[in-house]
A and B are shown apart, each in its own frame.
Chain A
Amino acid sequence: MKAGSNLEKMFAAGHFAVTGELGPPRGADAGHIHEKAKYLKGIVESVNVTDNQTAVVRMASMAVCRLLLDMGIEPNLQMVCRDRNRLAIQADLLGASALGIKNVLCLSGDHQKFGDHPQAKNVFDIDSIQLIAVLKKMRDEGKLINDHECEGIPQYFIGAAVNPFADPFDFRVTRLKKKIDAGVDFLQTQCIYNMEKFRTYMQQAYDQGLTEKCYIMAGITPLKSVGMARYMQKFVPGLDVPEDYITRLKGVDKKKQGDEGIKIAIEQIQEMKEMKGIAGAHVMAIEWEEKVEEIVSGAGLLPRPEVS
């Protein structure tokens, strides 16, 4: 065991793991966290807590992770390189470990141009792949970047994200391999809609033996409506929403589009369960946490197995 988190144990036991996601509020209201998180408790192994997602200021990921721990929910601390240099990153990582946070997801971070403080100076002292290496060095060697020995060695289960749908497509599996080389333990993918392209990507990863070297979780985001699908198709860079899903949503009454989106998500997870090299699903129900149970249950993944 690297860190002995619930998520790591689930993978180690060979179960198809499920994670969720929670976006902290744009304010200091802890009640908001309790409200959203209650829908995820017992439904997923652990919950990603986003870090100033889309470069919009929100309650600190680390603080929300601790609030989740207090609720008996295991968090995955998301950490972006946009807002911190290597001093702040390592300090935060040590603090996270001291607070009982075991799973960390290493990300570059969306450019601040998209966020609510586009005038900000960005950092990007290190990138997401180097961040993986920082965590690995702290955990496995007990040392900081500068080789200073940590007093008290942190234990992390190291995660990162991959986007199979960004360009250039042929380089995407190489980038996945670089994350493995840097020391990643588990990966969560960008929201998957183009299943055909995803199968090609996974086949390449499988053929190169990469799926044996880390746990890959398929990213699933249920489509709420035709409007949301179109928005993601047109305006979210690196997202690939094929027209047939939109046609399918259009085919039902407007009030039923959400239900159809959930059906699609369930079918996707069921297909992922059979796909070689997929170790779990990462369900990102954006501002729709109350539907996660229905999705996970629909995919035949409830109740969650007990691991110790």
Chain B
Amino acid sequence: MVVAERKPIEEILEMIGDFNKVLLTGCKGCVTVCNAGGEKEVGILASALKIARKKEGREIEIDEITLERQCDPEYIDQLEESIAKNNYDAVLSMACSVGPQYIAKRYEDVLVFPMLNTSFIGGALEHGVWAEFCQACGTCGIHKFGALCPIARCAKSLLNGPCGGSSGGKCEISPETDCVWHLIYERMSRLGQLDKLGNVVMFKDWTTSRDGGPRKIVREDLKQ
């Protein structure tokens, strides 16, 4: 899933400046799963903002709505009623950064602000801890590395690691970061496939990654 976390309250307060009335929108997709921007987090942020503004002596009105998903135009339409009825100063999105962009596209004259920092494609390690597992390079080859991704999980994206900074199973950048190449080595060793790591992996073609420009998938079989 897309993993995100909420921006610091101070940054959000600065963004909303002296707005009097805003619409705060959550998303029931990935950001609900990673406890960043679901219905519950929308409620928490709305309360926090109201309290902060009350303290400053300038109260703010905040409407709350949580959409099925913000990465689908069909669900963005759910905002229609609220936006048409109210004269919001801005819409605040608690989805990953796709959400605010979809809202901006649908409502050309409405100010839109992101409430989250979209962090990575990853998963939970334990309750309250998430980690990155994929960099969306567009050409998955993790089977060559024991089904572990060195592009996303090695600090240097090495295809022929581990580098000289691997120490005690940890990466040189931090004792908190596993050396994925150490994990690859151990797994390939367990699978009896260590010999495969002995071959030089040649240059990666990055055209399917962000380097090839913004990406798009067209499925002719699904297009209408």
| Interface membership of B198, Cβ < 8 A | yes
Q: Is the pair B172, A238 in contact by a Cβ cutoff of 8 Å?
A: yes
Residue of A nearest to B158 (CB): A127
Q: Sample 29 A-B pairs with CB under 8 A, ordered by A number.
A: A86-B203, A108-B156, A108-B163, A109-B156, A110-B165, A111-B156, A111-B172, A113-B173, A114-B173, A124-B156, A124-B157, A126-B204, A128-B163, A129-B160, A161-B164, A162-B164, A163-B163, A166-B162, A166-B165, A166-B167, A167-B179, A167-B182, A168-B162, A168-B166, A168-B182, A175-B162, A178-B199, A190-B164, A237-B165
Q: Give the residues from 117 to 152 in chain B that come closer than 8 angstroms, CB to CB, to chain A.
A: none
Residue of A with least CB distance to B206:
A125
- Does A30 touch B at the CB level, under 8 Å? no
Decide if A130 is an interface residue (CB 8 Å cutoff): yes
Number of interface residues of A (CB under 8 A): 35
B residues at A contact (CB < 8 Å):
155-169, 172-174, 179, 182, 185-186, 194, 197-204, 206
- Cβ–Cβ contact A171 & B185, under 8 A: yes
Provide the bound-state CA to CA distance between A129 and B201, in Å. Answer: 9
Report A-chain residues with C-beta under 8 Å of the C-beta of B179: 167
Asked if A82 is at the interface (CB within 8 A of a chain B CB), the reply is: yes
**Which residues of B lie under 8 Å from residue A297 when comparing CB positions?**
none
Q: For B186, give the chain A residue with the smallest CB separation.
A: A168
Closest to B167 in A: A237
Partner of B185, one of A114, A161, A168: A168
Cα distance, A178 to B199, chains bound together (Å): 7
Q: Quick check: is A122 within 8 A (CB to CB) of the other chain?
A: yes
Chain A residues engaging chain B, CB cutoff 8 angstroms:
81-82, 86, 108-111, 113-114, 122, 124-130, 133, 145, 161-163, 166-168, 171, 174-175, 177-178, 181-182, 190, 237-238
Contact in complex: A145, B160 (CB < 8 Å): no
B200's contact among A108, A133, A145, A167, by CB below 8 Å, is which?
A133
- State in angstroms the CA–CA spacing of A175 and B185 once bound together: 12
Question: CA–CA, A110 to B186, complex, Å?
Answer: 24
A81 to chain B minimum Cβ distance, whole angstroms, is 8
Given contacts A109-B156, A175-B162, 16 further A-B contacts (CB under 8 A): A110-B165, A128-B158, A128-B160, A128-B163, A130-B201, A133-B200, A161-B164, A166-B162, A166-B164, A167-B162, A167-B168, A168-B166, A171-B197, A178-B200, A181-B199, A238-B164
A161-B164 Cα distance, complex, nearest whole Å? 9
Are B200 and A182 in touch, CB under 8 angstroms? yes
Which residues of chain A have C-beta atoms less than 8 A from B173's C-beta? 111, 113-114
- In the complex, which of the residues B167, B179, B201, B204 has the most CB atoms of chain A within 10 Å of its own CB atom? B167
B146 to chain A, nearest CB (A): 13
